[in-house]
A and B are shown apart, each in its own frame.
Chain A
């Protein structure tokens, strides 16, 4: 399904080497160093790990209803282009010569834009009306927004193909092992308390040959763009405070983007989870990047 992936064998060999070389303990992104008082980062604050998912949940509860507006403001509407490219590149859909429907899972995709986009694309391009989709989110309000969108759209609401589940992405207890063909996560993985655990769970949940496909903010590779982005990130919380009456959520978002590992580091984290043929594509000078990996 993904175009332009390298030959598996050579990549596997280089991956084994890079894995050994890059097996560095990065204290920022590795939360396993202190088991006793396990702390992690919530934006710029250091909080006990158990608290982080609650606090992240709170951020998303307060922004759930205006999430699309917030995304529009943050990325000046470009996020729609990114998501379109994300789906087009994935090229999802049960091919006409195939007998089994595909099983998609969209994680931290409460608002449903990627989930419904995938199903629409599959139907439009391949006439696929049987593939199933699990829309999964840790936050019930975001999931409710997603279901409401489905209701407003007039499809995927009360549809046996689409399930809406409240799940922690690091556990996914209701999803069986080796049961999904495609695992997508769009602008959600930076909010995971333990990103590596999320990646490991993605590995568990995917079938052999299944694709892990992630769209997330990443490191900007252009100096001019970086300067512009930094200025934008400094004024964004104030705009959020004036327009949406919410300073803290935007401050958290801007800092969580900063803390997220860069393209190469995230690629090595995906490889550490066991995926192969891991690659990435930077979009818009590296503001965000699509990472993918295939379960052996």
Chain B
């Protein structure tokens, strides 16, 4: 009699022998392959070493193990060093693959939205959005203008000592240099804090973008825009209209939504229209050799560039603050007078 043992994965054989064979209902190819792989890689260290020992690869007197070790380390170090798509083209250059550039854009975009006050986020987003067509356009703009060509040739750097800020204090009051100096000191900023360019591959493009970043303060000073967020949005809008820089466009589109309604009203009524109109009408600002015109009369410069400042933002805010204070005082007095009747 054949024993009828029913096991989970098979059928008992009906051949009349004393032994029962199990015929598998299905073949477990994937499972066995995975098990083999897992055992080989996770548990099979000793087995692999035993194989090596059989082949004579382990404890081999003819092998220079020190040399092998050194070569292995060098190989791995080379793999770690050669992760970049190209060699650095300038000091501080970190070349990125396209996927990494996308990651930079996403991460800095999200961080800039939630923390625009942190300069590093804005700087990173600016470099992430500095796409080649835009930089090529700026490059062509500079090459088509004689002053722009001179800037590209000289590669001036904007630093406090190069500009000689202390000398600017002694300039006549109507010069741009003096206005720039007073604006810097009033807003408590310095042109030294501009971050270096890291992620732009072409060195000329990197210089153009650095120049754009460094001239940002000059635009502020020329138009008397303060560094509060409204002033920043105004200048960004000016840059967007004039130069077409994607970061400036993004800033103009998204930054106003984080402001209060009265700030938005001021922006939409006065400053943004001014910025867009002026930006489209005036000369390309990247072609201005700011270092050379520091001693010129500021109104002359404005005539040349066809760029006239809007009403002073700080004055408008102060006037509004004053009006609100007067209202508060008036109603406080009225409240006191009325409470005397009660």
- Inter-chain contact B70/A238, CB cutoff 8 Å: no
B124: min CB distance to chain A, Å: 7
Binary per-residue interface labels of chain A (232-271) against chain B in the complex, 1 for a CB within 8 Å, 0 otherwise = 0111011001110101000100110011000000000000
Once the chains bind, are A241 and B94 in contact (CB under 8 Å)?
yes
A89 to B54, CA, bound (A): 37
Residue of B nearest to A259 (CB): B73
Collect the chain B residues with CB atoms within 8 Å of residue A237's CB: 83
- The answer to whether B120 and A245 touch across the interface, beta carbons within 8 angstroms, is yes
Q: How far is the CB of A24 from chain B (nearest CB, A)?
A: 6
Which residues of B are found within 8 Å of A247, using beta-carbon distances? Answer: 94, 198
In the complex, B131 has a CB within 8 A of chain A = no
Q: How far is the CA of A251 from the CA of B108 in the complex (A)?
A: 21
Contact with A along B43-80 (1 / 0, CB 8 A): 00100000000000000000000100110010011011
| B107–A234 CB distance below 8 A | no
Is B160 in the interface zone, CB < 8 Å from A? Answer: no
CB neighbours (8 Å) of B79 from chain A are 230, 234
Closest B residue by C-beta to A265: B69
Closest to B38 in A: A224
Contact A233 B42, beta carbon cutoff 8 Å: no
Which chain A residues (210-231) contact chain B, with CB distance < 8 Å? 221-224, 230
**CB atoms of A242 and B107 under 8 A apart:** yes
Known A-B contacts A241-B198, A255-B77, A258-B77; A224 and B107 likewise in contact (beta carbons under 8 Å): no
Alpha-carbon gap, A1 to B75, bound state (A)? 40
Chain A interface residue count, CB cutoff 8 Å, equals 25
Please tell me if B100 contacts chain A, counting CB pairs below 8 Å. Answer: yes
**B288 is an interface residue with CB less than 8 A from chain A:** no
- Chain B residues in 8 Å Cβ range of A223: 41
Q: How far is the CA of A24 from the CA of B66 in the complex (A)?
A: 8
Q: Chain A at the B interface: mostly helix, strand, loop or mixed?
A: helix
A224 to B42, alpha carbons, bound, how many Å?
8
Q: Does B189 contact A (CB under 8 A)?
A: no
Give which listed residue, B69, B76, B100, B107, contacts A258 with CB less than 8 A.
Answer: B76
Complexed CA–CA distance, A277 and B80 (Å): 35
In the complex, chain A residues whose CB is within 8 Å of the CB of B45: 221-222
B276 at the interface (CB under 8 A from A): no
Contacts of B83 in A (CB 8 A): 234-235, 237-238
Contacts A26-B66, A237-B83, A238-B100; is A230 near B76 (CB within 8 Å)? yes
Chain A neighbourhood of B107, CB < 8 A: 242-243
Residue of A nearest to B45 (CB): A221
Q: Which residues of B contact A251 (CB under 8 A)?
A: 80
A3 to B79, CA, bound (A): 39
Chain B interface residue count, Cβ-Cβ cutoff 8 angstroms = 23
Task: State which residues 90-120 of B face A: CB under 8 Å.
Answer: 94, 96, 100, 103-104, 107-108, 120
Residues from chain A with a CB closer than 8 A to the CB of B77 are 44, 255, 258-259
Which A residue sits closest to B37, measured CB to CB? A224
Whether B26 sits at the interface, judged by CB under 8 Å, is no
Between B66, B80, B96, B124, the greatest number of chain A beta carbons within 10 A of the residue's beta carbon is seen for: B80
Is B185 part of the binding interface, using a Cβ–Cβ cutoff of 8 Å?
no
Contact pattern, A 12-31, Cβ under 8 Å of B = 1, otherwise 0: 00000000000010111000
Is residue B81 within 8 Å, beta carbon to beta carbon, of the partner chain? yes
A44 touches B81 (CB 8 A): yes
CB distance from B119 to the nearest CB of A (A): 10
List of A residues within 8 angstroms of B81 by Cβ: 44, 255
- Docked Cα-Cα span, A204 to B51, in Å, equals 44
Complex CA gap A283/B70 in Å reads: 24
Instruction: Kindly provide the distance from the CB of B301 to the nearest chain A CB, expressed in whole angstroms.
Output: 36
- Min CB distance B172 to A, Å, is 41
Question: In chain A, what residue has the closest Cβ to B111?
Answer: A243
Residue from the list B42, B80, B104 in contact with A222, Cβ < 8 A = B42
Also in contact, A27 and B42, with CB within 8 A (given A230-B79, A238-B100): no
The complex places the Cα of A166 from the Cα of B124 at a distance, in Å, of: 36
The reply to whether B41 and A242 contact each other, CB–CB distance below 8 Å, is no
Min CB gap B194→A, angstroms:
14
- Is the Cβ of A254 less than 8 Å from the Cβ of B80? yes
CB distance from B284 to the nearest CB of A (A): 31
* A27-B70 Cα distance, complex, nearest whole Å: 9
> What residues of A have a CB within 8 angstroms of the CB of B96 in the complex?
238
**Chain B residues within an 8 Å CB radius of A222:** 41-42, 45
> Bound state CA distance, A89 and B133, in angstroms?
60
- In the assembled complex, the CB of A25 is this many whole angstroms from the nearest CB of chain B, namely 8
Q: A222-B41, A238-B96 are in contact. List 12 more A-B contacts (CB 8 A).
A: A24-B66, A26-B69, A28-B70, A224-B41, A233-B80, A234-B79, A241-B94, A242-B103, A242-B107, A258-B77, A259-B73, A259-B77
Pairs A–B under 8 Å by Cβ, sample size 10: A24-B66, A44-B77, A44-B81, A221-B45, A223-B41, A230-B76, A235-B83, A238-B94, A251-B80, A258-B73
The 3 closest A-B pairs by CB, nearest first: A234-B83, A224-B41, A247-B94
Give me the interface of B with A, judged by CB distance under 8 Å.
Answer: 41-42, 45, 66, 69-70, 73, 76-77, 79-81, 83, 94, 96, 100, 103-104, 107-108, 120, 124, 198
